[in-house]
Amino acid sequence: MGLQSCIGGTTLQTLKLASIPTLSSSRLVSRPVQLKALTLDFFLLSRHGRSRRSPFPLLARALSAPAIAFQTETPPEEKGNAVLKPQWKAAIDFKWIRENKEAVAVNIRNRNSNANLEAVIELYDKMSDLQKEVERLRGERNAVANKMKGKLEPSERQRLIEEGKNLKEGLVTLEEDLLKLTDELQQEAQCIPNMTHPDVPIGGEDCSVIRKKVGSPPQFSFQIKDHLQLGKELDLFDFDAAAEVLSLFNLSGSKFYYLKNEAVMLEMGLINWTLSEVMKKGFIPLTTPEIVRSSVVEKCGFQPRGANTQVYSIEGSDQCLIGTAEIPVGGIHMDSILAESLLPLKYAAFSHCFRTEAGAAGAATRGLYRVHQFSKVEMFVLCKPEESDLYHEELIKIEEDLFSSLGLHYKTLDMASGDLGAPAYRKFDVEAWMPGLERFGEISSASNCTDYQSRRLGIRYRPSEPSSASPKKGKANLAPPRFVHTLNATACAVPRMIVCLLENYQQEDGSVTIPEPLRPFMGGLEIIAPKSR
Amino acid sequence: MKGKLEPSERQRLIEEGKNLKEGLATLEEDLLKLTDELQQEAQGIPNMTHPDVPIGGEDCSVIRKKVGSPPQFGFQIKDHLQLGKELDLFDFDAAAEVSGSKFYYLKNEAVMLEMGLINWTLSEVMKKGFIPLTTPEIVRSSVVEKCGFQPRGANTQVYSIEGSDQCLIGTAEIPVGGIHMDSILAESLLPLKYAAFSHCFRTEAGAAGAATRGLYRVHQFSKVEMFVLCRPEESDLYHEELIKIEEDLFSSLGLHYKTLDMASGDLGAPAYRKFDVEAWMPGLERFGEISSASNCTDYQSRRLGIRYRPSEPSSASPKKGKANLAPPRFVHTLNATACAVPRMIVCLLENYQQEDGSVTIPEPLRPFMGGLEIIAPKSR
């Protein structure tokens, strides 16, 4: 077995956790496979006799394309000093909105959005008229300038100079107005939510439809505990100390925590296993900055400065903490035109995530279920528009396979129109059974954002189809760039997974069994047992 | 005033009582003010210094130990930035757009290297009895101060969260130090040895120049930090244990390094004694700090309020009640870097580069990277 050839001889016994009773060496020596603690088993493939060539065959394809043309556009210099000036512009297709205003209006209603479609169309029309006027004036000014080049009578010249001056002043005013209109239009138009997939159920949260249901709730013949109690008895987390360190008076409601002992191994095991699994599917592993500019947060469709914002801001700067790796990954190809051969670009990003959870309170937020900081592996895909539905299906399949491997009982929901975030064209949520909470809890979310984010982040690709005519030199034959579609999906949100695993795999004696797939990533650990005192 | 009094006598006493009360209020206010002033000044006093610490500036630091020698290369070597670019391991440019300079994405094998380093390090120090932890990375600024840092000073290293008294941690030393704040621990619990994995955030305000290129100085990085709470008489011992653990880790990875006993002018205020390890970084053509081990004695514990109850029985026969309990004493705290990932990546890439542009993975890390032995250039 390829696996064994790379494993050292260290037995689990040497993994002495401070308060865990020593495992007897004889029990382990008899086992054929002795795994070093916290082995990262990325290449289970090697077990099937695959030769040790490049571990990233799929990467080779992504990288063999011509280099990415980074077209970094510097933001236009903002004249004047407008407080509400947006710092960036979304490339919104106003013409399309106007031509499809009925559908857009219905969509806004279905999503309970506050967007003001009438205002957008009105502003757009005004702006178009103003633009025509500006162009007309510019044309006249150029005509005057041309006339001045020839031989002229002094009086004629003087008259033209006057005319030129008036035109110039008029233009300046109009151009200022145009800028203001453009900004207003942007502000209104950015509120318009993404369109909606035709199969999405219309309505509120309760209209979401179950696409798939896997497994069934485990039957316990004893009084079960919730993850908080299990964690306390197994010395796996500490919320109280965290509450002190953060001086929150409601100790049981504290949303910060320390993980300890096997819970740390569980977190590392979950992350490593998840990364390993999605890398096999061709995802490029990444770690990302967790501090980003607030404009990037906005371009992804979040509101860093809104009331009840989920976003932490850094004092004295325009930076924020990320709530999900979707944001820094979305930013990687900002303002770029990608070669078509690079698509699809599939990233699996590991990061810590920070959320204020402002406005979230109550029993459903006890323990690890809702916290301010957590580790997550996020999948992010950039693809051609015609392929996004396909990759949405692929992403949800990957998630379902991961959760099935861990033996979880879960259901996949097609979220209703009222429950989609503004960026999502369609969203699948997976809710897993959490026996201690006695209900299903969301463990992942997979969204197809079509071109909502890419129009804001400025991510396009150059289609490489040859034109029908014979190939000529020059740009004439290059197809115009199109906006990519982006998708994001949670591969593993660690605290929710820990809740699931602890509550579902608890035993009568208070221990917790580790699901098989995770064991090689936890040094072979099979069970989290109560510590002897 | 409790007894039987003549009305005039009672009146006189009431007057006297009132005057005394007013006088007291004033004096108590003055006392509070003085206490605050005293605290402010006294907190400025640095920790005492171990007698063996060399006195002087940075250049007075003494080499305690030197291990290995610089690798000899038969070809033109590259620095980690160039290696990273050619092997598609990091992206600084995209991060500069998204976040600012000194931010980065790790990609491909660099992610595996980070995970491998962390997992291997945790595994190694757990064998030595350290309790593994992950910690909050947002903490109250008072905890930062109690550990001896200055969150609000000019050129502060600390990021603050807008609209709150919270900060981002620059090291797990802070949230771990905070675990036992304002507590009295049973002596039998000591020594308490934690190995905490966290992301760390530093503004690096005031740090500039070529020495800060690439991964050498960044705003965000992963680190495994060892933190020990022990009895005062044992802290020198644990300081030696911590530096030994660090040296064993770096030797296992085949690094060429030197351990320095830092001079008095180079100790942070909390440190009684500090050992730094500097590893040879061929691409930078110099030694660079990869870890630091400090014995803070009771500097942090006096601020964090961490004490223990000695359990020696009194000489007399045991009696009931508190009379026989020894008074609580402040613990000593120590902290030491087990693994600061970016600096380790610099070391590994630069030291293990091959002529063909690939990088060999040191043996101990391979099982933690799925058996990966080499980071090879991607075929085009």
Give the pLDDT confidence of A427-462 residue by residue, as tens digits: 999 999 999 999 999 999 999 999 999 999 999 999
Asked if B370 lies within 8 A of A38 by C-beta distance, the reply is no
Among the listed residues A331, A371, A339, A378, the one whose alpha carbon sits nearest the alpha carbon of residue A354: A371
Annotated binding site of B: 171, 202-204, 218-221, 225, 289-292, 335
pLDDT value at A18 more than 60: no
Mean pLDDT of B252-263: 97
Does residue B289 carry a catalytic annotation? yes
Q: Which amino acid is at A458?
A: G
pLDDT value at A81 more than 50: no
- A154 pLDDT band, cuts 50/70/90, is confident
Q: What angle do CA B42, B43, B48 make, to 5 degrees?
A: 85
pLDDT value at A73 more than 90: no
A5 touching chain B per CB within 8 A: yes
What is the share, in percent, of chain A residues with pLDDT greater than 90?
Answer: 64
Q: What pLDDT score does A23 carry?
A: 34
Mean pLDDT of B280-293: 95
Query: What chain B residue is nearest to A16 in terms of C-alpha separation?
Result: B127
**Nearest Cβ partner for B136 among A6, A72, A256:** A256
A257 touching chain B per CB within 8 A: yes
CB A183 within 8 A of CB A84: yes
DSSP A461-512: EE--PPPSSPP-SSGGGSPPPEE-EEEEEEEEEHHHHHHHHHHHSB-TTS-E
Q: What pLDDT score does A325 carry?
A: 97
B199 touching chain A per CB within 8 A: yes
Range with lowest mean pLDDT among A348-357, A524-533, B239-248: A524-533
Q: What pLDDT score does A476 carry?
A: 58
Q: Using one digit for the tens of pLDDT, what is the confidence trace for A282-296?
A: 999 999 999 999 999
Range with lowest mean pLDDT among A62-71, A510-519, B322-331: A62-71
Q: Residues B61, B217, B241, B273: which is the catalytic one?
A: B217
What is the share, in percent, of chain B residues with pLDDT greater than 70?
Answer: 94
Nearest Cα of chain B lies from the Cα of A388 at a distance, in angstroms, of: 24
A513 touching chain B per CB within 8 A: no
Residues near B285 by beta carbon (within 8 Å), at least 6 away in sequence: none
**Nearest Cβ partner for B98 among A245, A286, A331:** A331
Q: Residue A198 belongs to what H/E stretch?
A: none
Asked if B162 lies within 8 A of A37 by C-beta distance, the reply is no
Q: Residues B141, B222, B292, B294: which is the catalytic one?
A: B292
Asked if A18 lies within 8 A of B159 by C-beta distance, the reply is no
pLDDT value at B319 more than 60: no
Query: What chain A residue is nearest to B183 in terms of C-alpha separation?
Result: A241
Does residue B202 carry a catalytic annotation? yes
A to B CB pairs, distance under 8 Å: 223
Average pLDDT of every residue of chain A: 82
Asked if A313 lies within 8 A of B367 by C-beta distance, the reply is no
**Nearest Cβ partner for A315 among B116, B160, B366:** B160
For residue B102, which residues of chain A lie inside 8 Å, CB to CB? none
- B116 pLDDT band, cuts 50/70/90, is very high
Does residue B97 carry a catalytic annotation? no
pLDDT value at A80 more than 50: no
B374 touching chain A per CB within 8 A: no
A55 touching chain B per CB within 8 A: yes
- A4 pLDDT band, cuts 50/70/90, is very low
Nearest Cα of chain A lies from the Cα of B129 at a distance, in angstroms, of: 5
What sign has the CA pseudo-torsion A433, A434, A440, A446?
Answer: negative
Helix count (H) and strand count (E) of chain A? 15, 17
Question: A271 vs A2, which has greater pLDDT?
Answer: A271
What is the share, in percent, of chain B residues with pLDDT greater than 90?
Answer: 84
For residue A265, which residues of chain B lie inside 8 Å, CB to CB? 132
Within A259-324, where are the H helices? 262-280, 294-299
**Nearest Cβ partner for A291 among B135, B166, B219:** B219
Q: Residues B273, B303, B307, B343: which is the catalytic one?
A: B343
Q: What pLDDT score does B177 carry?
A: 94
What sign has the CA pseudo-torsion B50, B332, B156, A286?
Answer: positive
- Residue keyed to tokens 């008229």: A129
**Nearest Cβ partner for A18 among B119, B129, B162:** B129
- A150 pLDDT band, cuts 50/70/90, is confident
Asked if A257 lies within 8 A of B136 by C-beta distance, the reply is yes
Q: Using one digit for the tens of pLDDT, what is the confidence trace for A83-131?
A: 456 678 999 999 999 999 999 999 999 999 999 999 999 999 999 999 9
Does residue B343 carry a catalytic annotation? yes
Annotated binding site of B for ATP: 202-204, 218-221, 289-292
For residue A247, which residues of chain B lie inside 8 Å, CB to CB? 140, 142
Asked if A5 lies within 8 A of B120 by C-beta distance, the reply is no
B207 touching chain A per CB within 8 A: no
Beta bridge partners of A446: A428, A489
Nearest Cα of chain B lies from the Cα of A325 at a distance, in angstroms, of: 11
Q: What pLDDT score does B6 carry?
A: 87
Task: Walk across the sheet containing B183-186 and list its strands.
Answer: B183-186, B306-309, B329-330
Enter the tokens of residue B3: 């007894």
Q: What pLDDT score does A423 carry?
A: 95
pLDDT value at A248 more than 50: no
Winning range, highest mean pLDDT, from A8-17, A168-177, B146-155: A168-177
Q: Exposed, middle or buried: residue A248 (CB in 10 Å: 0-12, 13-18, 19+)?
A: middle
pLDDT value at B270 more than 70: yes
Per-residue burial over A171-198, b if 16 or more Cβ lie within 10 Å, else e, is beebeeebbebbbbbbebbbebbbbbbe
For residue A11, which residues of chain B lie inside 8 Å, CB to CB? none
A59 touching chain B per CB within 8 A: yes
B139 touching chain A per CB within 8 A: yes
Q: What pLDDT score does B125 carry?
A: 96
Predicted model pTM:
0.85
- A466 pLDDT band, cuts 50/70/90, is low
Query: What chain B residue is nearest to A256 in terms of C-alpha separation?
Result: B136
User: What's A530's DSSP letter?
Assistant: P
Q: What pLDDT score does A31 carry?
A: 35
Enter the tokens of residue A294: 């607030």
Enter the tokens of residue A349: 């990003």
Q: Which amino acid is at A269?
A: G
Q: What pLDDT score does A27 carry?
A: 35
Does residue B329 carry a catalytic annotation? no
Best B102, B118, B126 residue to mutate vs chain A (most A CBs within 10 Å): B126
What is the share, in percent, of chain A residues with pLDDT greater than 70?
Answer: 78
CB A208 within 8 A of CB A416: yes
Q: Using one digit for the tens of pLDDT, what is the confidence trace for B32-48?
A: 999 999 998 998 899 99
Q: What pLDDT score does A152 carry?
A: 80
pLDDT value at A46 more than 70: no
Asked if B105 lies within 8 A of A328 by C-beta distance, the reply is yes
CA distances from A370 to A185, A208, A239, A358, A360 (A): 37, 22, 12, 11, 8
Query: What chain B residue is nearest to A44 in terms of C-alpha separation?
Result: B370
Average pLDDT of every residue of chain B: 92
Alpha-carbon radius of gyration of chain B: 26
Q: What pLDDT score does A25 carry?
A: 36
Q: Using one digit for the tens of pLDDT, what is the confidence trace for A191-238?
A: 999 999 999 999 998 999 999 999 999 999 999 999 999 999 999 998
pLDDT value at B153 more than 90: no
